[in-house]
């Protein structure tokens, strides 16, 4: 557990719009922070790496934003709650909340230890719930706001060998769908982000029983034509357009529609992928139809 430390960097009382981004000191979070800064936002970022927070604050200021940094562990109820209190005291509330902090993992359901299941869901799913508990009342009181939850294409496709990550990101999508219906009456919009692989530092947090999976994910990230800046731009445009789903990648959007329109074929393809991946291919008998 980490103690919460906040440093007010510039005058907090300007009339600029306000955003809070978890995991905002690196990767996609930092790219989002700079994107909002270029639009003139006051940008609060939460992270567990103090050195990166300081560097990100300098970058936000250089990009034209007004930074506030929070050394905060999103697995701590108290730390997140204190962060919300301090930001509300400094700025009077927030206009945009971005649940971005997350970790990476791979492994089948049985290969993934219970410890790693708890680690994954505590950060990638319950971390977002914890942040919403702390910050959403500000938006409800103001009668406006926008919540952006960063999920993944893994929450849609559920590829074999990524059990806990798939479940946590699928839960983030379900959380966003539920939240959208619950807060619409308060004037609050919700966006859920489901990108595929792109260049980021997510693999620094990787856990899993198979190093081959880590190497594969790293190669897919390196091959991607999109960067964290590209995804941040897509998220910002999606927010301004009040879009619910933001994909960033064309293949992620295609996977979403493929699963929705052709569920039987989708299940067949993922089953075959699992059989090929784990060497347990069992061909259908003549005339047999997969259920």
DSSP string, 4-52: -EEEE-S-TTSS--EEEEETTTSHHHHHHHHHHHHTT-EEEEEES-HHH
Range of the domain at 91: 5-278
Residue 286 lies in a domain: no
* CB 241 within 8 Å of CB 260: no
Read off the pLDDT band of 291 (50, 70, 90).
very low
Which of 41, 165, 236, 256 does the annotation list as catalytic?
A: 165
* Number of separate domains in the chain: 1
Q: How many angstroms separate the CA atoms of 99 and 147, rounded?
A: 8
Selection from 204, 185, 198, 184 nearest residue 246 by Cα: 198
Q: How many angstroms separate the CA atoms of 263 and 80, rounded?
A: 39
Residue 288 lies in a domain: no
How many percent of the chain have pLDDT more than 90?
A: 62
Residue 287 lies in a domain: no
State the CB neighbour count (10 A cutoff) for residue 284: 9
pLDDT score of 114:
95
DSSP label at residue 96:
E
Selection from 238, 250, 35, 34 nearest residue 148 by Cα: 238
pLDDT score of 211:
59
Selection from 55, 6, 5, 3 nearest residue 26 by Cα: 55
What confidence tens digit (pLDDT) does each residue in 51-105 have? 999 999 999 999 999 999 999 999 999 999 999 999 999 999 999 999 999 998 8
What's the mean pLDDT when you consider all of the chain? 84
Residue 291 lies in a domain: no
Residue 289 lies in a domain: no
Token couple for 284:
């259908």
pLDDT winner (highest mean) among 12-16, 203-207, 233-237: 233-237
More confident residue, 169 or 216: 169
CB-based contacts of 159: which residues, under 8 Å, 6+ apart? 166, 270, 273
pLDDT score of 224:
55
Report the CATH number at residue 165. 3.40.50.720
pLDDT score of 218:
52
Residue 235 has pLDDT above 50, yes or no: yes
Selection from 67, 7, 63 nearest residue 34 by Cα: 63
State the CB neighbour count (10 A cutoff) for residue 225: 8
How many percent of the chain have pLDDT more than 70?
A: 75
165 is catalytic: yes
Residue 9 lies in a domain: yes
Residue 289 has pLDDT above 90, yes or no: no
Does the pTM exceed 0.75?
A: yes
277-282 LR contacts (CB < 8 Å, sep 24+)? 277/160, 277/161, 278/108, 278/160, 278/161
What confidence tens digit (pLDDT) does each residue in 255-288 have? 766 667 767 776 777 777 666 666 654 444 455 4
Residue 170 lies in a domain: yes
More confident residue, 200 or 64: 64
pLDDT score of 5:
42
Residue 90 lies in a domain: yes
Residue 187 has pLDDT above 70, yes or no: yes
Q: How many angstroms separate the CA atoms of 136 and 188, rounded?
A: 9
pLDDT score of 105:
87
């Amino acid at each position: 557990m980490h103690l919460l430390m906040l440093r007010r960097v510039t005058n907090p009382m300007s009339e600029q719009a306000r955003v809070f981004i978890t995991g905002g000191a690196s990767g996609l979070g930092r790219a989002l922070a700079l994107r909002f800064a270029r639009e003139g936002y006051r940008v609060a970022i939460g992270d567990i790496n103090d050195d990166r927070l300081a560097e990100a604050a300098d970058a936000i200021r250089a990009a034209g934003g007004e930074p506030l940094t929070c050394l905060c562990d999103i697995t701590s109820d108290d730390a997140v709650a204190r962060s919300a209190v301090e930001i509300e005291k400094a700025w009077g509330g927030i206009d945009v909340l971005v649940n971005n902090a997350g970790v990476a993992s791979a492994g089948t359901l049985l290969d993934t230890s219970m410890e790693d299941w708890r680690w994954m869901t505590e950060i990638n799913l319950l971390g977002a719930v914890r942040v919403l508990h702390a910050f959403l009342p500000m938006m409800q009181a103001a009668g406006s706001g926008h919540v952006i939850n960063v999920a993944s294409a893994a929450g849609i496709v559920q590829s074999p060998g990524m059990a806990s990550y798939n479940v946590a990101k699928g839960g983030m999508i379900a959380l966003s769908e539920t939240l959208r219906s619950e807060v619409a009456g308060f004037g609050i919009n919700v966006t859920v982000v489901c990108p595929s692989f792109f260049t980021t530092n997510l693999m620094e947090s990787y856990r899993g029983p198979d190093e081959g999976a880590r190497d594969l994910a790293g190669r897919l990230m390196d091959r991607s034509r999109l960067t964290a800046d590209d995804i941040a731009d897509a998220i910002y445009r999606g927010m301004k357009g009040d879009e619910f789903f933001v994909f960033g990648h064309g293949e992620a959007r295609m996977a979403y529609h493929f699963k929705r329109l052709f569920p039987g074929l989708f299940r067949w393809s993922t089953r075959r992928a699992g059989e090929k991946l784990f060497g347990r291919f069992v061909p259908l008998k003549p005339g047999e139809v997969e259920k």
